[in-house]
Amino acid sequence: MNILVLAYLGDAVFELYVREHLINIGIAKVKDLQLESIKYVSAVSQVDILNKLIEDGILKDEEIEIVKRGRNAHSHQSKSTDIVTYKKATGFEALIGYLYLNDRKRLEQLLKEALK
């Protein structure tokens, strides 16, 4: 599957997981949910999460390769962030999309770690 398609899917999956997480921890007002979710789903936040997963040695070699493929894919640049951050966030989203399709148990493990 095209790596950018995986990133597209991963973006939606991560957003949904974050929203569910915020509801589960007791945030009940939509305005508060929106403000809190931005703290997780922005490109900068995704890169911070990705860097922590890498630094802590949590990602497997195969997962790092998927991140690299996503990071290196030719895509347009976001107007809201720099190109390096955007590409790294795309790599993170590609990994989420890949795991959603291929290994939901591993996806759950990584997302729980990411949202600690």
Instruction: Give 56-112 as a DSSP string.
Output: TT-S-HHHHHHHHHHHHS--PPPSSS-HHHHHHHHHHHHHHHHHHHH-HHHHHHHHH
List the domains of the chain with CATH numbers. Answer: 3-114 (1.10.1520.10)
How would you class 44 by CB atoms within 10 Å of its CB: exposed for 0-12, middle for 13-18, buried for 19 or more?
Answer: middle
Neighbours of 14 (CB within 10 A): 25
What pLDDT is stored for residue 1 in this prediction?
86
**pLDDT tens per residue across all 116 residues of the chain:** 899 999 999 999 999 999 999 999 999 999 999 999 999 999 999 999 999 999 999 999 999 999 999 999 987 766 678 889 999 999 999 999 999 999 999 999 999 999 88
What pLDDT is stored for residue 20 in this prediction?
96
> Active site includes 11?
yes
Contact in structure between 77 and 86 (CB atoms under 8 Å): yes
What pLDDT is stored for residue 81 in this prediction?
83
What pLDDT is stored for residue 95 in this prediction?
99
